C-alpha cells in the first residue's frame, strides 16, 4: 500500500498536548477503507464492504470532495452564502473558522 507512519510522543508538543489525544489517523490511510465513527460508543470501525455500514434513521449523509492530500472538504451554507473547500476534520473538538472576503 506504500503508507508512511510516524511514532512520536504527542505530549512533547505544547500545541498538540492540550488536545489530549493519543494519536492521529491521516487521510492517506483513511482513503483505503470505508469508515464509521461511532461517537456514542467511542469506537472507530472500518471495512472494505460498504454493505456492513448501512445507514439508520440517525445517519447523516455528507457529500464531500478531496484535496490532493486526500483530506475531505465540504461546502457549508451560512444563510444564503455557500462556502466551499472547508476541511472536514473529525478529530477537531473546536469550532469552525471561515475567513471573510472583502
**What is this structure's pTM?**
0.58
Contacts of 19 (CB under 8 A, 6+ apart): 93
For residue 34, the SS3 value is strand
Query: How many Å apart are CA 17 and CA 9, to the nearest integer?
Result: 9
What confidence tens digit (pLDDT) does each residue in 35-54 have?
888 888 988 899 999 899 88
Q: How confident is the model over 79-95, as pLDDT tens digits?
A: 898 888 888 876 666 66
Which spans in 1-102 are helix H?
A: 14-17, 27-30
Amino acid at each position: 500500500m506504500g503508507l508512511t507512519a510516524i511514532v512520536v510522543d504527542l505530549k512533547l508538543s505544547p500545541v498538540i498536548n492540550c488536545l489530549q489525544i493519543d494519536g492521529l489517523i491521516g487521510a492517506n490511510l483513511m482513503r483505503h477503507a470505508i469508515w464509521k465513527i461511532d461517537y456514542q460508543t467511542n469506537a472507530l470501525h472500518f471495512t472494505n464492504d460498504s454493505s456492513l455500514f448501512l445507514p439508520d434513521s440517525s445517519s447523516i449523509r455528507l457529500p464531500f470532495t478531496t484535496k490532493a492530500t486526500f483530506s475531505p472538504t465540504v461546502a457549508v451554507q451560512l444563510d444564503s452564502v455557500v462556502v466551499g473547500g472547508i476541511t472536514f476534520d473529525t478529530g477537531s473538538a473546536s469550532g469552525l473558522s471561515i475567513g471573510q472576503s472583502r
